[in-house]
Copies of this chain bind each other. A is one copy, B any other.
């Protein structure tokens, strides 16, 4: 063992101490007597020896490591050379640099479990690449997010919520709730839904951790593998893999300005043995349109005749600007043909993770049973807060305010579109929700635009996320970015588009 080796282990010992390992963003100390490259190679060695980076792990690229550690790329190159010399990592053309050894595996007669084969063999499909890229980029606080479907942090009711928590009358309940969720919350949701014309008793309501979990429970609780789900084209459903991961297939139905076109549903149901129809009638994700009253009645009738149950996803329904959208289909559903989904994630707090499913009691019983097997219920604290928020009327007050803010933001975005996009795109004018469905001039690669924009710190949601054949749309969201960022981002985006054309 040479002097360098000894130094290695000194540092490792120090790191076993181990404040350094728990730092979220470890960086080498420029003031240290150890050279930067040695600090870095030792840090990576620790990751390997601790089993955090097991055999087969692909090491991040030199560029990413240099950025992460705040050093020059040449320092990274030196550090990786040391690790390669130690036999811990190996670079292969075409597949990057991987962990090929650790001191223990050198001693072991049999290899440790190959986690990577486990990672590749799970039932659940990984998020598609572009969505993973969006998720990663969203962690960067400096990026301008022009496609994000959330309320801007500046619109969330932080102060009101803190005040609510400071004035709790009842003692906090910290135990498990009953399978369908907190009693009082379900009563409150029942009253809340009355105003939308939906009459339901608490026994037919299930509290869930957001609308996505509602879909997850429906997929594993009610459907067979291979079942076919109908949805609007384009649809939010294509951007999540909740049904596909459970072995179901998606099938898109065309839409017009009134919503899903109903003519062919009966035929398609018979041809493809459709199991469910999923729709977002109000302020549809990603197109922003709302389904007309007339179309809703047609869809209800068609689905009833075809014995095709409906999932009505109404998470944007409260976010109208001038007039409420037509009543939910659930309000006219007397045969229990509709499973209705609501949530507070879009309208006041994504982070609380509270939504609800309303449907026939045996279906709700079944889904509650699955939910108990999945996570033993949603956070009691979140349920408490949502109950109080809605019951006290704070929610209505806040909605009135957020509707004004969103309308202002929509108008702001429309002004920018008129000024900078009128010769390169067309768009609709949404009457509520978050989204404008921007159709770009023919011949512009939205995939290329996505990469170009990301390089400049602008994150957009290409239409291909919502319809894999789509190459001309962007989902533009006016809900998330600050007004300054919205302006800056949209102007730059228009320039990038013009560059692609020109």
Knowing A307-B112, A378-B379 touch, does A122 contact B370 (C-beta < 8 A)?
yes
Residue of B nearest to A159 (CB): B171
User: Which residues does chain B contribute within 8 Å of A53, judged by CB atoms?
Assistant: 336, 360-362
Query: Is A501 part of the contact surface with B, judged by Cβ < 8 Å?
Result: no
Asked if B108 and A304 sit within 8 Å, CB to CB, the answer is yes
In angstroms, how far is the closest chain B Cβ from the Cβ of A19?
A: 8
User: Which residues does chain B contribute within 8 Å of A83, judged by CB atoms?
Assistant: none
Residue of B nearest to A345 (CB): B376
**Bound-state Cα–Cα, A115 to B218, Å:** 12
In angstroms, how far is the closest chain B Cβ from the Cβ of A387?
A: 13
Query: Is A334 part of the contact surface with B, judged by Cβ < 8 Å?
Result: yes
Asked if B373 and A112 sit within 8 Å, CB to CB, the answer is no
| A 28-60 to B, binary, CB cutoff 8 A, 1 in contact else 0 | 000000000000000000110111111111100
Query: Is A119 part of the contact surface with B, judged by Cβ < 8 Å?
Result: yes
Chain A positions 348-379 with a Cβ under 8 Å from a chain B Cβ: 348-353, 359-363, 366, 369-370, 372-379
Knowing A172-B161, A202-B22, A366-B122 touch, does A113 contact B309 (C-beta < 8 A)?
yes
Asked if B362 and A115 sit within 8 Å, CB to CB, the answer is yes
Query: Is A441 part of the contact surface with B, judged by Cβ < 8 Å?
Result: no
Knowing A47-B361, A51-B360, A240-B373 touch, does A335 contact B162 (C-beta < 8 A)?
no
Pick from B15, B118, B225: contact of A123, CB under 8 Å: B225
User: Which residues does chain B contribute within 8 Å of A200, judged by CB atoms?
Assistant: 21-22, 50, 52
So how many copies of this chain end up in the complex?
Answer: 2
User: Which residues does chain B contribute within 8 Å of A124, judged by CB atoms?
Assistant: 220-221, 370, 373
Asked if A175 and B150 sit within 8 Å, CB to CB, the answer is yes
Pick from B26, B175, B212, B307: contact of A113, CB under 8 Å: B307
Pick from B201, B247, B385: contact of A52, CB under 8 Å: B201
**Bound-state Cα–Cα, A221 to B226, Å:** 19
**Bound-state Cα–Cα, A351 to B157, Å:** 24
Knowing A114-B307, A177-B351, A349-B174 touch, does A212 contact B374 (C-beta < 8 A)?
yes
Asked if B202 and A24 sit within 8 Å, CB to CB, the answer is yes
User: Which residues does chain B contribute within 8 Å of A56, judged by CB atoms?
Assistant: 362
In angstroms, how far is the closest chain B Cβ from the Cβ of A432?
A: 21
Query: Is A252 part of the contact surface with B, judged by Cβ < 8 Å?
Result: no
Interface 9-mer from A187-195, A314-322, A410-418, A458-466: A187-195
Asked if A247 and B382 sit within 8 Å, CB to CB, the answer is no
Query: Is A255 part of the contact surface with B, judged by Cβ < 8 Å?
Result: no
Query: Is A77 part of the contact surface with B, judged by Cβ < 8 Å?
Result: no
**Bound-state Cα–Cα, A270 to B30, Å:** 51
Residue of B nearest to A57 (CB): B362
Chain A positions 118-168 with a Cβ under 8 Å from a chain B Cβ: 118-119, 121-124, 126-127, 132, 135, 138-139, 150-151, 153, 156-159, 161-162, 165-166, 168
Pick from B57, B118, B353: contact of A222, CB under 8 Å: B118
Knowing A172-B158, A379-B351 touch, does A335 contact B105 (C-beta < 8 A)?
yes
Asked if B132 and A369 sit within 8 Å, CB to CB, the answer is yes
Pick from B104, B138, B179, B203: contact of A335, CB under 8 Å: B104
| A 270-284 to B, binary, CB cutoff 8 A, 1 in contact else 0 | 000001000000000
Query: Is A296 part of the contact surface with B, judged by Cβ < 8 Å?
Result: no
Asked if A221 and B24 sit within 8 Å, CB to CB, the answer is no
**Bound-state Cα–Cα, A240 to B372, Å:** 9
Residue of B nearest to A240 (CB): B373
**Bound-state Cα–Cα, A380 to B19, Å:** 25
Chain A positions 224-268 with a Cβ under 8 Å from a chain B Cβ: 224-225, 240-242, 245-247
The 5 closest A-B pairs by CB, nearest first: A51-B336, A351-B380, A22-B190, A54-B336, A379-B379
Between-chain CB contacts (< 8 Å), 11 pairs: A23-B201, A24-B201, A51-B337, A113-B309, A118-B222, A118-B309, A157-B174, A176-B351, A240-B373, A379-B381, A381-B381
